[in-house]
A and B are shown apart, each in its own frame.
Chain A
Amino acid sequence: MRVLVVEDEPSLSRQLETALGEAGYVVDCANDGEKADFMGQTEGYDAIVLDLGLPKIDGLTLLRRWRDQGLSVPVVVLTARGAWHEKVQGIDGGADDYVSKPFRMEELLARLRALIRRSGGQARPEMRCGGISLDPRSARVTKDGAPIKLTGHEFLVLSYLMHQRERVVSQSELTEHIYAQNYDRDSNTVEVFIARLRRKLGAGAIETVRGLGYRMGDAA
């Protein structure tokens, strides 16, 4: 799962990057409205954490612009403006959630997790696919009740596929969602992760759809 953090205060941006990274997300950061606008429109993010008081383009303007252009990525507004009329403005501007500063990182993470899960159409916190279950709250994966140890990238690949459920995910889409922007991407590594996941979870866990990509299998 890849998240864009838009925050102009460098210390807070760094803290968010670290905390989200530790929680298992791939994080990109933007420190002004223009950069955020460009990144939000050109990269595929699973969620955006957006500050409102930004240099160059104000966060609320940015949010409305994205929504007008049909960008439907879940957005959590993270702002110092905590009055209720401001919350109404933010939600009406297209935000999916609103957290006011100062905030507890745990709460932000919980809200982000829930948002990403709901945007994939999952109603319950824990995701299941056949015998495999993945809990994004603890980043734990089990198969038929037995815990499975995954590396960071393996977890990212499995988590993205499980969030998409029955949808077929192309190799390039998968690459985009598991690497940060400045990372040297190599789509062949996705095949390596898929192969390792199949070894750990069973050959039928992930299906290859010829010419299109991957999806979670029924025979897991």
Chain B
Amino acid sequence: MKSLRGRLLLGSVLWTMGMVVTTNFVILGLMLHRFPGPVVHFGAMSIAAVGFLIVGIFHLRSVLAPFERLGKQLGAIRRGSSPRVEGPFPTEVAPVVADLNALLDHRAQLVDRAIARSGDLAHGLKTPLAVLGQEAERLSASGQHEPAAIIGQQVERMRRQIDYHLAHARAAASGSTLGATCSVLESAQGIARTLSRLHAEKGVQVEVSVSPDHCVRAQREDLDEMLGNLLDNACKWTKSRVTIGSVEDTSGTLILVEDDGPGIQPEMRERVLQRGVRADEAGPGSGFGLAIVADLAELYQGSISLDASPLGGVRARLRLPSCVTHQR
């Protein structure tokens, strides 16, 4: 039965019938007590009465079930494990669900458009910045070092601000609210392929040992950004070996990026990851990428920490919620 009205009607009829039979039974019982006479089938009547009452109650309860289901699905959307409300609903609720889905779609579109716009803005600014940067280099070459240095510094600050806020805006807008999942191996292989080209002069190859089953709850673009920054950093510092591996346990997926470079002092580990540090104030070059990783990890309810690798350099431990454990 698809309609709430029908269900309510049936439930009430059953309930009323149960009540009528019960009332008759009580009245008849009292009458028989005073005037014993005709034989009434008490057993059959009481069973029928109780049966009607129970079925009536269950039916009325089932009327409310769709609302409970709707509530659960909304919770799932809010947590990010589902993008829309799915499944059949009674005719009175279905239009509300349809409107709700339309609203969610509209919101997703707005977010996409906002991301595209912020991307356009960032890209639109970078080419003029490149031009300014080159002019600064020319000024410097012609002996005007002071203005050249100032322009150069400001260009670099602006670039960092743009990169930082672009990565952040994209993740904050889309990543944590949509039910996105992605394979760690696919992302790691893509980044490894790219880095083998970007660091071709150094001849670095990233050793990927990630299980094909490991999957995390994050947008592919954001996982790429996190692994890209971590692995690029490792490739910059390494002497010869960079590895990426992963472990899955009950609390999520742990991704380990290691190198055999000079390592990092324990007191610096916290600093390079510092979140909330303004982009232009975060340490030199490499540390800035790590601040983006820390921010993205936090947005996905994950975490990042650094310690010493058995290889001799830095080991980055990136923890992210995995697809499997979340669905428990």
Contact = CB atoms under 8 A, between A and B. Distances in A.
B198 interface: yes
A84 B229 contact: yes
Interface in B179-210: 190-191, 193-194, 197-198, 200-201
Contacts of B242: none
A81 B119 CA distance: 8
B190 A92 contact: yes
Interface stretch (B42-50, B80-88, B218-226, B259-267): B218-226
Given A80-B123, A95-B197, 9 more contacts: A80-B124, A80-B127, A84-B229, A90-B194, A91-B194, A97-B197, A97-B200, A102-B126, A105-B134
A82 B201 contact: no
A157 interface: no
Interface of A: 9, 11-12, 15, 19, 53, 80-85, 87-88, 90-92, 95-98, 100-105, 111, 114, 118
A15 B220 CA distance: 36
Interface residues of B, number: 37
A14 to B, nearest CB: 9
B282 interface: no
Contact of A83 (B133, B167, B197): B167
Contacts of A114: 200-201
Interface of B: 122-135, 137-138, 155-156, 159, 163, 166-167, 190-191, 193-194, 197-198, 200-201, 220-221, 224-225, 227-229
Contacts of A104: 133, 137
Contacts of A15: 131, 134-135, 138
A61 to B, nearest CB: 17
- In the complex, the 8 A-B pairs of residues with the closest C-beta atoms, listed nearest first: A84-B228, A80-B126, A80-B123, A101-B130, A102-B130, A85-B224, A102-B129, A88-B190
Contact of A12 (B123, B130, B167): B130
A71 to B, nearest CB: 17
B166 A96 contact: no
Contacts of A9: 127-128, 131
